[in-house]
Structure formats: C-alpha cells, structure tokens
Amino acid sequence: MRRSFFTSTLNTITATLMSLALLTGTIISPVTANETRKSAPAIRLTPPAPVITDAERVGELASRRGRIASAMEANRMLVLFAAAPRIYTNDVDYEYRQENNFYYLTNLRQENARLVMFKAAANAQPTTILFLPRRNPARETWTGYMYSPEDARRVSGISDIRDVREFPAFVRAFGEGVTYNAPPESMLTKTEDAVATNKTNENLRALFAARAAKQARLLMLAPRADARDEAREWRQEAGFANEWEKTNKDVAIESAFPIFAQARLIKSPMEQRFLQHAVDITTEALGRAMGAAHNLKHEYEAEAEVEYTFKRRGADYWGYPSIVGCGANATTLHYWESRGEIKRDDLLLMDVGAEYDHYTADVTRTFPVSGKFNAAQAEIYNLVFAAQEAGIKAITPQATFKEINEAANNVMREGLFKLGLTTDRESNQFKLWSIHGTSHWLGMNVHDVGGAQPLMRGTVFTVEPGIYIRPDALDNLPDTPETRKFIAAVRPAFEKYKSIGVRIEDDVLITETGYRNLSEKLPRTLADVENFMARAQREFQATRRDSDVWKPVLTMQGAGDFDGSLAQSIEARFDAGRTVRRGFVRSHTARTMNHSHAHHHVDAE
C-alpha cells in the first residue's frame, strides 16, 4: 500500500514537472538508474569554477606588477589606458571588455582609468598609481555600479588611487619637467604609511630629475608611429603618443609590448586554472553540440547550443566569434556567418572557445552529423588526426612551433600524395589543401603574445592541423601547362573529397615533466568520436525546427506512467524564423499565456 502510494506520488510529481518543462521550453531527458550505473555520461559537465581568495588575487597581481617593473629600465614611466567603449551602432556599445594588459595588472573592469608605474633606478622598488573615475550616482543609475576607491584597492591591491581628472596634469608635468604636487582633493585613498608616502615622493623627485637631465623615457602600448592611423587596437594610446611627440621632444616613447609579451607568455598556476576552466566550459559546449547536431537544421542552432553553455557556465563570453561550418562551409578557415544548413551526410566543423576571466580556450572538433563518417570523410579525418599526433609527439621543452609544424606537415605531405591530391610528395603542393600553421600561443588573446620563442614550462599553445578541399580550389589556380597537368592528375581524387573540411585542435600546457592536453576530455580518434556521438545523442535530446513548425521534444526514460495528453494539449507551435515576445504561444493566432502581458502575439523580426 505504502509502495503504491509513493509510486503514485512520484508519477504525479513527474507528470507535473514534465508539464512545466513544456510550458517553459525546458528539455528534460533523464536516464534510468540502470543506465546511470552502466557508464558515466558522455557529455562532461563543467567542473566548479576556480575559487580565488582576495589575498591570492592581490598576491598574484603584485607578482605580475613586480615582473613588469623588473623588466623596466631605470628612469622609465609606464602608462596604461583602460579600454575605451566600442560603439556597436549609434548610442549602443558592445559589451565592455578591458584592455588585456591593464587587466593583467589590476583585474579592474573600469573604463576611463589609467595606470602609472615608474622607477628611477634599475633595482629600485617601483611606484604604482591608479587614476580612477569618481563614482557618479546619476551615471550608475543607467549603466551600473562603478568601483569605489576602496573597491579598487581591494581588487587590485593598489593603495595609491587618485582622481583620473588629475592624470593630464601629472603626465604634463613629467613631459615638461616642471614640479608636480598632487592637490589633496585628487587623492581618493588616504594612507597612514609615512614610509610609503615618502618613497613615492622620493621616486617622483628622482624621475623628474632624470627628466630634467633628458634621461627619462615614457613606456606605452603605442603602435609604431607609421602604423598608428591604421591601429585596430590601442587607438587612445596612438592619439596620446601623437600629441606627446608634438610637445615633449626630450622624453621619447618606448614600446612596452616586448615587456608584456615576455611576462604574459609564462602562465602562472592561477592563470593555468583560468585557462583550464575556459577549456572545460568549451568541452561541455562542444559535447552538447555533438550530441544535438543530428537534430538540428541550421549552423546557428549548433552555435546557439555552444554559446548558451558558455553563458550558463559563467564564461565572460567567447574569446573569438564561433566558427560553425557544415559541409563546404567547413573549408573556410574563419567562417562566421553560421547561416548554412546542417545536412545529415556532411561533416560539421566547430572551432569555439569560451573566455573566462579574460583567458580564452580555442578548441576545434570536426564530426559527422549522422554520427558515422563515410569512407572519404574518414580518410581525410584520419590523415588530419595522424598529423596532429605527429605534432604532439614533437612537443618537448625548448621545441619551436616550426618543429611542430614540420612534423605535422611531413605527415600531410605524404598522406595527401597517397590520397591522390598531390603529384609530388617532396614539394609544397600539399599547401593547396593545408593552408595554415599548426600552432599559436594561447592566453588572454586567442592568438596570444609570445612571438617565435621556444616552448617552456608554463606556456600554453594550440596544435591544430587541418585539410580543406574547397569546391572551387582548382578553379582559382593560374592557367599554365604545368597547372593544367596537375589539375588533370588530381581531378579524380578532388571529386571524391570535394567540400570536405577537417580541423582538429587542442590546447596544450608545457609542464615540469612534459606537457598536458587541457582539452583531452573531448574525443579525437575517429572511433572515439563515433562512439561519443552515439552515447551523446541518446542522453541529449535537442529541439529541431522543421521546415515550418517548431515543436518541443520531450523524452522520458524509466519515468513511470505518464499521460502525454496534457503535453499534447499545450504543444507550442509558431513559424520558424519568428520571434515570440513576452510569453508562450499555443498557435499562430492564439494569445500568449503570460501572467503579466496578455494579448501579445507573434511578431515578425
């Protein structure tokens, strides 16, 4: 009797949850207890985010500022600008993202701020001043809370914080070599530390004395003078540098880029945790997309699955626009439109990366929408995998990207010759189909700083060979007898593999004992990909928009008795490509079921 009561109660609760799920658009796909015991889920959920204490963060930032200061020569003053808002259109801005190097030293997401660091002697302790906008209650009403001086000091660990309106007078005095005395009202933080105050004043006097002797220099993230007009980033810095050079001939500008590139190349343990979490979020996002792909109709639906997961797991956003290309679209390296159809017999290439606390992942997987590679797809995929394996095996401390690239290219060169896509295994003909390098640095940028330095402990980079058989590749070759002969020879293989694009990309950290693949939880081998997709498709149920009607899909396994009549009675229907505003729609003409906004209908976007 008791068991029957509990069973009945469970079924009632289950049915209620299912009804609510349909009303809210939630997709629920529980599995039975037996299935849970058999194996772990294919789609790996993101582990908890790193927990960083205030003390750990402030210590990390102090260490970073120390590295930058150690790399500065004597009598140098470094000036960093917070990122300026970027206009999306008219009076709408893009979401704000702080300039990487400013964030690297402060962890502050505040626009219109300035950071100054200076030292007068090579081995002197540096002085750091943060120029911060005063809080503006009227502005905060519209755009949100601004840092108070106390907030900024707690987050950054910088104790000398001044009104940003005093910044022009400060740097003008340095440029002109005149005495500078900060007005008391410009000091946003008060300190009782007389030693620190005296040290700041002593460093300032020494710096200004060096300026008077024409020995001081200004360090900035300013583009070269001949490239400032075309600068994609650091436009504030470019404008400031142009004005500075007009009026301050005795204080030359030096580039701070090499100093930051060297400091940011080696990732601290904290940075490694942030990068791993960004990769973990990306791993779940790609797993969900792989499980959903067979039920999706357009590339943007797969992109939405990925970016939904990014936001759901607390990522700031993506580190770069998601690349989601199906079929021939996969042969375009940076294909960002995501408007094409997802076809069952095609491969879907997804190159995506979540950004977490300014650190971005960069992971690519290529997989068959149906869950099974056909013969031609498998041959290209296995070749790319073999090339990636060769590149990974070339990873050793002090190895270079050139060596990794050559190891992968040797496999590509031989493999493409055997497939009939080239006629000379010794030449660079293979680059017609494999057109990019194998590795780049990874960190606060997807293509991060570091240049041509060798691998060393704490560096993070990608290994990402690819093959792209573009459908028009042979049409764009120069018309010469040699080319016509080449085209005739490779034409049969080209027709066999045409429109196949494959890239496999993983993020790798150099450790004390070797390396670690940060994205190793995602399948890479052909067999593992197929096995993963079979499992992921079963455990993940997505919605599919058919040609004209969207319908929610609900799968219950082992849930007991459930009457689907309620679900059928509230089935949501609306035209594909339409936007539902404020509520749930029963049909094209029905009113929305919303407790606060009645009589809203489906509006065309």
Q: Which of 98-102, 318-322, 449-453, 540-544 has the lowest mean pLDDT?
A: 540-544
Q: Are residues 261 and 275 in the same domain?
A: no
Query: How high is the pLDDT of residue 19?
Result: 44
154 and 289 co-located in one domain: no
Spatial CA neighbour of 543 closest among 306, 292, 324, 291: 292
Residue 103 has pLDDT above 80, yes or no: yes
Greater pLDDT, 48 or 554: 48
Nearest to 424 by CA among 372, 486, 484: 486
144 is a domain residue: yes
Distance CA 213, CA 194 (A): 29
Average pLDDT over residues 315-344: 96
Calculate what percentage of the chain has a pLDDT beyond 70: 81
Closest CA to 391 of 495, 517, 282, 502: 517
254: in domain: yes
pLDDT mean across residues, the chain = 84
pLDDT at 372 over 90: yes
Global pTM value: 0.83
User: Cβ contacts of residue 589 below 8 Å, gap of 6+?
Assistant: 601
Average the pLDDT over 237-252 and give the result.
90
| Number of domains within the chain | 2
Q: CA 247 to CA 190: how far, in whole Å?
A: 33
Whether 292 is covered by a domain: the verdict is yes
Residue 17 has pLDDT above 90, yes or no: no
Residue 587 has pLDDT above 70, yes or no: no
Mean pLDDT of 223-233: 78
* pLDDT over threshold 50, residue 569: no
Q: Are residues 525 and 479 in the same domain?
A: yes
CATH number at residue 184: 3.40.350.10
| Together in a domain, 458 and 533 | yes
State how far the Cα of 524 lies from the Cα of 367, in Å rounded to an integer. 10
Q: Helix 167-176 and helix 235-247: axis angle, to 10°?
A: 40
| The pLDDT of residue 365 is above 70 | yes
pLDDT digits (tens, 9 = 90+) for 437-475: 999 999 999 999 999 999 999 999 999 999 999 999 999
Q: Single out the residue in 539, 555, 573 at which a domain terminates.
A: 539
286 with 252, same domain: the answer is: no
Co-location of 178 and 195 in the same domain = yes
Asked if residue 177 and residue 303 are part of one domain, the reply reads: no
| pLDDT of res. 572 | 33
Non-local (6+) Cβ contacts of 79 within 8 A are 114, 115, 116, 171, 218, 219, 220, 240
CA distance 449 to 363: 18
Identify whether 567 is part of a domain: no
Residue 198 has a pLDDT of: 63
Left, alpha or beta for 168 (phi > 0: left; psi -120 to 50: alpha)? alpha
Give domain status of residue 44, yes or no. Answer: no
Distance CA 351, CA 321 (A): 9
Do residue 157 and residue 76 come from a single domain?
A: yes
pLDDT at residue 81 in the model: 97
- Look at residue 319 and tell me whether its pLDDT is greater than 60: yes
Residue 598 lies in a domain: no
| Same-domain status, 331 and 235 | no
Q: Which of 483, 518, 539 represents a domain boundary (last residue)? A: 539
595 pLDDT band (50/70/90 cuts)?
very low
How far is the CA of 390 from the CAs of 249, 351, 393, 419, 518, in angstroms?
Answer: 53, 21, 5, 19, 18
Interatomic CA distance for residues 40 and 387, integer angstroms: 30
- pLDDT of 412 above 80: yes
Range of the domain at 377: 269-539
Is the pLDDT reported for residue 209 higher than 60? yes
Tens digit of each residue's pLDDT (9 = 90 or more) over 468-525 = 999 999 999 999 999 999 999 999 999 999 999 999 999 999 999 899 999 999 999 9
pLDDT, residue 11, reads: 52
Whether residues 162 and 201 fall in one domain: yes
Number of DSSP helices (H) and strands (E) in the chain, helices first: 17, 21
- Chain mean position to CA 541: 26
Q: What number is the average pLDDT over the span 543-563?
A: 36
Domain identity same for 402 and 287: yes
Residue 404 included in any domain: yes
- Residue 511 pairs in a beta bridge with none
Q: Is the pLDDT of residue 201 over 90?
A: no
| More confidently predicted of 604 and 403 | 403
Helix axis angle for 299-312 and 269-292, nearest 10°, is 140
Residue 555 falls within a domain, yes or no? no
Q: Indicate if 234 and 276 belong to the same structural domain.
A: no
- Residue given tokens 């030693």 in the structure block: 195
Out of 481, 512, 539, pick the residue that ends a domain. 539
Residues 6+ apart with CB under 8 A from 29: 539, 540, 541, 554, 555, 556, 557
